[in-house]
Structure 1
Amino acid sequence: MFDKILIANRGEIACRVIRTCRRLGIRTVAVYSDADADAQHVRQADEAWHIGGARPQESYLRGGAIIEAARASGAQAIHPGYGFLSENADFAEAVEAAGLVFIGPKAASMRKMGSKAGAKQLMQAAGVPVVPGYTGEDQSPERLQREADAIGYPLMIKAAHGGGGKGMRIVRSSAEFMANLESCQREAAGAFGRDRVLLERYVERPRHIEIQVFGDSHGHVIHLNERECSAQRRYQKVLEESPSPFLTPELRAAMGEAAVTAARAIDYVNAGTVEFIVGQDGAFYFMEINTRLQVEHPVTELVTGLDLVEWQLRVAAGEALPLTQTQIPQRGHAIEVRLYAEDPEAGFLPGSGRLERLRLPAPSAHVRIDSGVVEGDTVTIFYDPMIAKLIVHDADRPRALARLREALAECDIVGPKSNVEFLERLARHPAVVDATIDTGYLDRHLDEFAASAAAPDDERLVAAAVAYWLHEEASTRACARASADPTSPWAIADGWRLGHGGRRSLALLHRGERIELHAHGSGGEYRVEHAGRIVEVHGARLRDGTLSLRLDGHARSLRATLDGTRLTVHDGSARLRLEVVPMYQPRTQGGASQDNRVLAPMPGRVVLVRAAENEQVAAGQEVLVIEAMKMELSLKAPRAGRIAEIRARPGDFVEADAVLAVLE
């Protein structure tokens, strides 16, 4: 086994590898960019080396700098994590040439899978089922159009190199093909440096099921069963689980055997994932092999009880696989979701900023948290905006889903917007609960997962107000105890007035709408007025973030938190976020005028400028396209009008809120 390894990555995967190494007594070396000087992986490793600027091209993609750090630090091996250089055959080869061990497959195996077209041909020759399509080298638009028409529609255009859902388009008619081809090639060239594509028949409403494989240098190859990743948005996985609720034992065995055949076909060593697309009829087809550890590997670890990173280290050190195929355990059900700094209500726009508050469920036998940030850290604009992976495990799928809902309810994130509420709705949606979701369901029915614009129900609203009043009273009592006159009647926040009962008022903001509530009483006994209705509240208590009370005789228990002016209550099914605002303030008159500007919603690089100065544009017409955080964003005209000024050119790097175009 190794004495010291370098981790050529960042974030939660770097922290994950550090944990396993610490358990095995292996020292770790982290590398970091300018943006990550205070990151958790830097703090947790035994030592850390600076390798360059904030942008990945200036740091985590600099293979030479990483290898030099490994040699200078005395590391014997390099763990690539996932992303960045993890599937770069040239880097793996350079690591070996430097006399170090690359903890992953050999460069030759990577090269066989580096091209989706070549991989498909190789798998077909090995007898692994593949989707009908075109993988030829002739990439002329005319040839690709002819091949597409011959394959038939719908079909998928896919970048031949790379992954992560980039460079993929579904085309449903011949007339749509050319525009989609150009877009796909442009995205592929930007993401992977090569614009070659392949075409294949699109399987309607497919499931995405992947098989975890492992090989060693002694000729052994096995699989560790499957993970289902059918809940996707724009080809990005949203929820992963194991075992798949769709597979029969016979189909599981057939897919496992095909995955092992695929791995043997490329002489695979170390951890990898064979991804399949599965039709509603159970027919399955090879998609690709990810030649690295997957983001969703924890679900396999929880259902097998194995540490896949430890297996990676042992195999890389020359050891044989610890278990045979028949010895692989399978227990219970595991589900993973990813908490992201993103705004689902703004098209899942990635976010960044300081995590002012980060409350996640405590790890236990049923809940696992993999994260590379803690409260106070910053989600930077330069990398993937993941906050944490939340993984749950229980005896069966219904109980695992219940664990997931409970764990999500305990999450509280303040700072950049997050997808927590979206994930809560996902975990309760019938397509997930009934296990009928396919890879396109979210994109087809995204409105079913959107936040409700309706006014909050009275029960949660009154509960939120009561939580605020209880907190206010407790704070006042605490101040009184610390004062020179702790028994003063003026230190009681009960709204009492001479000659009549006190009336306390509270103004709250919900999605821009102002809500007013009024109450008589104190100490957990209130008569609350809201929108002409009166609610009697008795026995209200707020302890350790839990609010218990009786509303018109009906007992309830809810989670409640107050953070500055931010008030949140969660009834176990959904959360209600409110902002406390001044009760008395002038109201603005009239609405906002139409904006004449097209702004960058976040930092990024301008990819295309679709409009020209003096050009007449319609409301909602695309004016520019920028690339940010691994995705293209279409920026549209806020109203109809004439373009007075274009302030950006393709290739420009722009900051958030920069004015890119101005209308007359």
Structure 2
Amino acid sequence: MSTQITSCLIANRGEIAVRIIRTARDLGIRTIAVYSDDDADALHARLADEAYRLPGETTSETYLSIEALLDVARRAHADSVHPGYGFLSENADFARAVADNGMTWIGPTPEAIEVLGDKLRARALAEKVGAPLAPGTPDPIDDWQEARDFAEAHGLPIAIKAAYGGGGRGIKVVWEAEEIEAAFASAGREAQEAFGRPECFVEKFLVHPRHVEAQVLADTHGNVRVLGTRDCSVQRRYQKLIEEAPAPFLSEEQERSIIEGARAICEAADYVSAGTVEYIVSEDGTVSFLEVNTRVQVEHPVTEAVTGIDIVAEQFRIAAGEKLSFDEDSTPHGHAFEFRINAEDVSHGFIPNPGEVTEFAAPTGPGVRTDSGVVSGSVIPGAYDSMLAKVIVSGRDRASALRRAADALNEITVRGVRTVIPFHRDMLAHPAFAGDELKVYTNWVDTEYTPGEALGYEDIEQAYTERTTMTIDIDGRLHTVGIPTGLLGAFANAPSAAEGASEDAEADAEGVTSPLAGSLVSWSVEDGAEVTEGQTVAIAEAMKMETPVTAPQAGRIRLRVEAGEKITRGQVLAVYED
């Protein structure tokens, strides 16, 4: 039985809200956006047919408030709700409440969300259908001592994971026993902030794993289709940075087990809509089930680029009770990459860098697509995820896609905030990623990556030096040169390497300073404590990610900021006694 969908509330923000709005309008569906005060001038709010303010100041009062979202849906006479990814997209109570209010949920059933969105129940289901699994706790653990006991039984390293979330949030890998207590607390805080629930479980962490996943679409007529694989191994703090499709350098047996395992899990769960079954492929080739994301993924466009299937449009078809628009598993054609353009400073450890995007210019050309939530003048708030756009590049094979990607990343312009674009350019020149085999694994960036090395920078800070491009005619031939803007007397959006070093030196001399704009989560030391150089003294948070604050030198410090306070980048948090 088909259901006509004529209007849709997009219960999200940023890039994914824009993506859903565009597809919905292609289908003739009226679009309704929501926005917080921080997003009053956001692109998604301007593009939708209607936009409504969510009252409140915190995320829990706005994008995580089921009642606030349903109130807007009722006022706007929406007949459907699309949750996007993140926020309430994997919340069964929200899906059920949407249906109870007579609206169509653009996603899987509440029952499927409860089974597969709960990592522990998903593990049990995967085991039932024969998927290989790493050792893990069968239920959420209540305290850090249980994580310690698991580590003693199975050995280190272990991974402490949010039981009711995804997207890399609330994951802490522990290599030393004395780090377990702090990691357990940190994972729980991140899980609470991102998903509204702090419960965590523990599993054995496999060393040097690749992250490989299968994209699934399933309709209400019993059709479960797998749209191939993706590799998402290039990550920082278990946040994906680069994805590609299909996943390269897999054996036929590995690919078969990933695809058939994904199909079996989704069939057993009576799954409908878009979903992703994730695996890790260990250094020795072992494939192990990881989790199921019961929503559209951030990286879905890279699969669209090699299959020609609009995954969001299929979600609307499925929710309306229609069959999938294709009859067989999709065979990928060519190769594609997706680069997440995050507002993060690579030269300072990928620290979030919210602020105003003074200029944004997307790349163009054959095989190049940009999904963006910003335009020139947009403000990136510190309260949300740091991603502002995605650049998707495809070619006839991996080599040609890499060449096109290099051109696209050289062409894109983002000014006003620092982004990870220098990292992406660096990776495209790195043999571990762009060579004849993929040597990158999920924590490779955290453990082995040297910023700027592949591009020949002594310090990747140089990549942020603003340059003015000048074209000069020499003997009848044009030459293009880039000159540091500071040398021309113009004000650069980002400081030069010399300016940055000077500012850092001044900050260090004053005391312990904040590496980011956000909030101070907690102090790790008492007022008046003796600290050593490089010691973690506090935890700061921005864009839902926690960052350690370290002491620039040894000495006795006096705390100047209370836990819970808002902080700015460079703010003095503690001073040294003379």
Q: CA deviation at 1:373?
A: 0.7
Asked if structure 1 preserves the Cα contact closer than 8 Å seen for 2:136 and 2:202, the reply is yes
Report the more deviating stretch, 399-408 or 447-456.
447-456
- CA separation in 2, counterparts of 1:425 and 1:341? 17
Q: CA deviation at 1:656?
A: 4.3
Report the more deviating stretch, 602-611 or 28-37.
602-611
- CA separation in 2, counterparts of 1:20 and 1:286? 32
SS in 1 for 2:363: coil
- CA separation in 2, counterparts of 1:578 and 1:51? 36
Q: CA deviation at 1:579?
A: 6.9
Amino acid at match of 1:539: G
Q: Does residue 1:440 correspond to 2:389, yes or no?
A: no
Q: CA deviation at 1:127?
A: 2.0
Taking a change above 3 Å as real, the CA distance of residues 48 and 267 of structure 1, as seen in their structure-2 partners, is same
What pairs with 1:71-82 in structure 2 (closer than 5 Å)? 71-82=74-85
Taking a change above 3 Å as real, the CA distance of residues 257 and 368 of structure 1, as seen in their structure-2 partners, is same
Asked if structure 2 preserves the Cα contact closer than 8 Å seen for 1:35 and 1:380, the reply is yes
Q: Does residue 1:170 correspond to 2:173, yes or no?
A: yes
For 2:243, the equivalent position in structure 1 comes to 240
* Per-residue Cα deviation, 1:577-611 (whole angstroms, up to 9, x for no partner): 99799xxxxxx9xx859523333333323222122
Q: Does residue 1:214 correspond to 2:128, yes or no?
A: no
What pairs with 1:532-547 in structure 2 (closer than 5 Å)? 538-539=475-476
Q: CA deviation at 1:249?
A: 3.4
What pairs with 1:110-509 in structure 2 (closer than 5 Å)? 110-136=113-139, 139-172=142-175, 174=177, 177-326=180-329, 328-362=330-364, 364-434=365-435, 435-449=438-452, 454=458, 468=470
Taking a change above 3 Å as real, the CA distance of residues 86 and 183 of structure 1, as seen in their structure-2 partners, is closer
Asked if structure 2 preserves the Cα contact closer than 8 Å seen for 1:154 and 1:170, the reply is yes
Report the more deviating stretch, 312-321 or 281-290.
281-290
SS in 1 for 2:393: strand
Q: CA deviation at 1:624?
A: 1.9
Amino acid at match of 2:476: G
Q: CA deviation at 1:618?
A: 2.5
For 2:45, the equivalent position in structure 1 comes to 42
Report the more deviating stretch, 100-109 or 608-617.
608-617
Q: Does residue 1:2 correspond to 2:33, yes or no?
A: no
SS in 2 for 1:165: coil
Q: CA deviation at 1:25?
A: 1.5
**Structure 2 residue corresponding to 1:27, chosen from 9, 25, 30:** 30
Q: Does residue 1:596 correspond to 2:510, yes or no?
A: yes
- CA separation in 1, counterparts of 2:556 and 2:141? 42
Q: Which has the higher contact order (CA 8 A, sep 6+)?
A: 2
SS in 1 for 2:509: coil
* Per-residue Cα deviation, 1:224-269 (whole angstroms, up to 9, x for no partner): 1111111111111111001111223343222111101111222111
SS in 2 for 1:133: coil
Taking a change above 3 Å as real, the CA distance of residues 366 and 140 of structure 1, as seen in their structure-2 partners, is closer
Taking a change above 3 Å as real, the CA distance of residues 438 and 615 of structure 1, as seen in their structure-2 partners, is closer
For 1:613, the equivalent position in structure 2 comes to 527
Asked if structure 1 preserves the Cα contact closer than 8 Å seen for 2:140 and 2:201, the reply is no
Taking a change above 3 Å as real, the CA distance of residues 324 and 89 of structure 1, as seen in their structure-2 partners, is same
- CA separation in 2, counterparts of 1:152 and 1:592? 44
SS in 2 for 1:294: coil
Unaligned runs of at least 5 residues, structure 1: 471-522, 526-537, 541-547, 550-556, 569-576, 582-587
Report the more deviating stretch, 252-261 or 164-173.
164-173
Structure with the larger strand share: 1
- CA separation in 2, counterparts of 1:578 and 1:609? 30
- CA separation in 1, counterparts of 2:117 and 2:48? 31
- CA separation in 2, counterparts of 1:347 and 1:145? 29
SS in 2 for 1:69: helix
Report the more deviating stretch, 227-236 or 190-199.
190-199
- CA separation in 1, counterparts of 2:237 and 2:497? 36
Taking a change above 3 Å as real, the CA distance of residues 595 and 31 of structure 1, as seen in their structure-2 partners, is same
- CA separation in 2, counterparts of 1:559 and 1:408? 17
For 2:547, the equivalent position in structure 1 comes to 633
Q: CA deviation at 1:561?
A: 10
- CA separation in 1, counterparts of 2:5 and 2:85? 20
* Per-residue Cα deviation, 1:55-97 (whole angstroms, up to 9, x for no partner): 3223211221211211211211001111111111111111111
For 2:574, the equivalent position in structure 1 comes to 661
Unaligned runs of at least 5 residues, structure 2: none
Amino acid at match of 2:230: R
- CA separation in 1, counterparts of 2:38 and 2:193? 23
* Per-residue Cα deviation, 1:173-210 (whole angstroms, up to 9, x for no partner): 55654554444445444544544332222222111111
Q: CA deviation at 1:172?
A: 3.7
Amino acid at match of 1:648: V
Amino acid at match of 2:370: I
Taking a change above 3 Å as real, the CA distance of residues 82 and 593 of structure 1, as seen in their structure-2 partners, is closer
Q: CA deviation at 1:40?
A: 1.1
Q: Does residue 1:101 correspond to 2:108, yes or no?
A: no
How large is the Cα RMSD of the aligned pairs? 2.9
Taking a change above 3 Å as real, the CA distance of residues 219 and 337 of structure 1, as seen in their structure-2 partners, is same
For 2:473, the equivalent position in structure 1 comes to 524
Asked if structure 1 preserves the Cα contact closer than 8 Å seen for 2:11 and 2:69, the reply is yes
Asked if structure 2 preserves the Cα contact closer than 8 Å seen for 1:381 and 1:603, the reply is yes
Taking a change above 3 Å as real, the CA distance of residues 249 and 559 of structure 1, as seen in their structure-2 partners, is farther
Taking a change above 3 Å as real, the CA distance of residues 118 and 39 of structure 1, as seen in their structure-2 partners, is same
What TM-score do you get using the length of structure 2 for normalisation?
0.89
Amino acid at match of 2:258: M
SS in 2 for 1:612: coil
Taking a change above 3 Å as real, the CA distance of residues 176 and 580 of structure 1, as seen in their structure-2 partners, is closer
Taking a change above 3 Å as real, the CA distance of residues 194 and 454 of structure 1, as seen in their structure-2 partners, is closer
Asked if structure 2 preserves the Cα contact closer than 8 Å seen for 1:566 and 1:579, the reply is no
Taking a change above 3 Å as real, the CA distance of residues 354 and 181 of structure 1, as seen in their structure-2 partners, is closer
SS in 2 for 1:437: coil
For 2:95, the equivalent position in structure 1 comes to 92
- CA separation in 1, counterparts of 2:507 and 2:289? 53
Instruction: Report the count of equivalent residues.
Output: 559
- CA separation in 1, counterparts of 2:417 and 2:60? 25
Q: CA deviation at 1:289?
A: 0.5
Asked if structure 1 preserves the Cα contact closer than 8 Å seen for 2:169 and 2:239, the reply is no
* Per-residue Cα deviation, 1:332-384 (whole angstroms, up to 9, x for no partner): 1110001111110011111122222222212x441000001111211222222
SS in 2 for 1:85: coil
> In percent, how many aligned pairs have the same letter?
42
SS in 1 for 2:54: strand
- CA separation in 1, counterparts of 2:142 and 2:18? 42
Taking a change above 3 Å as real, the CA distance of residues 592 and 199 of structure 1, as seen in their structure-2 partners, is closer
What TM-score do you get using the length of structure 1 for normalisation?
0.78
- CA separation in 1, counterparts of 2:485 and 2:143? 60
